[in-house]
Structure 1
């Protein structure tokens, strides 16, 4: 269990955890099991940077600093997936063509536009959050989006072979017992998030938690129709779009509270 957590931190961040601990290659097939806990590091660091910068600079600058910090921590792993996803699903019309475009390392028009709209909308939404609760939301959004997205491996098969995978890793599929254990891990990862949100001076719109799972179901349904499966790029796009839907729903709900 501990080695799988270390493997998840190594896989989903660019920090040199491999210098601290060596893990078996088999552990990397289980990194999704601890994906939400990797969010404690990436989301927590982004929240801290936002809190520090917002005290001396405009909110939009703090939002950009938080996003930039997470990009550095992850090596833009998920953003690369989003760009490839936009290129593939935007430019491809068949399963084979979509997979071929997504595997191409060059970024296309759809990928550029997808990243521009994503970063712009994310900065805009974070800037619109109430300042007193923004760090808690940044932390929660990261963890919760990863928790929701992790269930893709229960819903879809991998669309390529291990040899065709960019990372050379195909995530292990859970049986019923392992799936139940993962639900527990996701709930455990969310405990500090929800506690932080509920400790604020005003009520948090808990209805926002319903939106990312719906987003996940809609996107995985699209992936099933187009690819009959998922790829690593699909996972990266899924986590960012689930996170974006969380921010969007919160901003809308706060507007009506």
Structure 2
């Protein structure tokens, strides 16, 4: 239970009781990370159902659907996205990029990329048909993105060997944690395909492409992963899943 509380206290704004961040509890915290996505997805699904019942317009629907995951996560992953964009846009060597990730100041490229990201994601939420099985697929996206993010964190090498991500990964039994997170990924993937082979398959394809990009980019640019890069992946993965669902829905509608 301490591990679960630590995970929610760190990666969400959901109120949690205070517990000691002892080594044994930290060693299992990342295994609960996908459960935060389940909670966020449940809230998101509730909004999609409510929006359909009240016939809320696409602009208001898209704005709330975009902001709910960010608000519930405390924008911690969006912060990592911004820091990573700053580092990538610097075109410096690997050591300098890692220094930029640690810098608490916000650069111009972080603001520009964040604005573009929110604009594109908002437009996608305005375009998607978030009803029926598609709504369930979209609601399961946050759980899959966190399952994959956690799996990468315990599988790929840490670029710095220190930092917030290392605080969670160093005490854990890597093999057991990897096994738990693989189960999370398999269950989420199976759930997506069971809910809707078309929309769920599209979401999986989007997530897969995000994984491929993240794997190549993180090694080429940083030599591994960090907490900021994990946040960058989570944000891009969720956008890619919604984008893939929108594209499939448009293609099916035309055909």
1:243 to partner: Cα distance: 1.0
Alpha-carbon distance in structure 2 between the residues aligned to 1:45 and 1:73: 9
8 Å contact kept, 1:51–1:62:
no
Which has the larger share of helix? 2
Shift in alpha-carbon separation, 1:11–1:168, aligned structure 2, 3 A: same
1:112 to partner: Cα distance: 1.0
8 Å contact kept, 1:50–1:65:
no
Alpha-carbon distance in structure 2 between the residues aligned to 1:83 and 1:205: 28
Stretches of structure 2 lacking an aligned partner (at least 5 in a row): none
- Aligned residue runs from structure 1 range 1-257, under 5 A: 2-19=1-18, 22-26=19-23, 27-53=25-51, 55-133=54-132, 135-162=135-162, 165=163, 169-172=167-170, 175-188=174-187, 197-198=195-196, 204=199, 206-257=201-252
TM-score normalised by L of structure 1? 0.84
8 Å contact kept, 1:50–1:63:
no
Stretches of structure 1 lacking an aligned partner (at least 5 in a row): none
1:53 to partner: Cα distance: 4.2
1:15 to partner: Cα distance: 2.0
- Across the aligned residues of Structure 1 and Structure 2, the Cα RMSD in angstroms comes to 2.5
Q: How many aligned residue pairs are there?
A: 248
1:99 to partner: Cα distance: 1.1
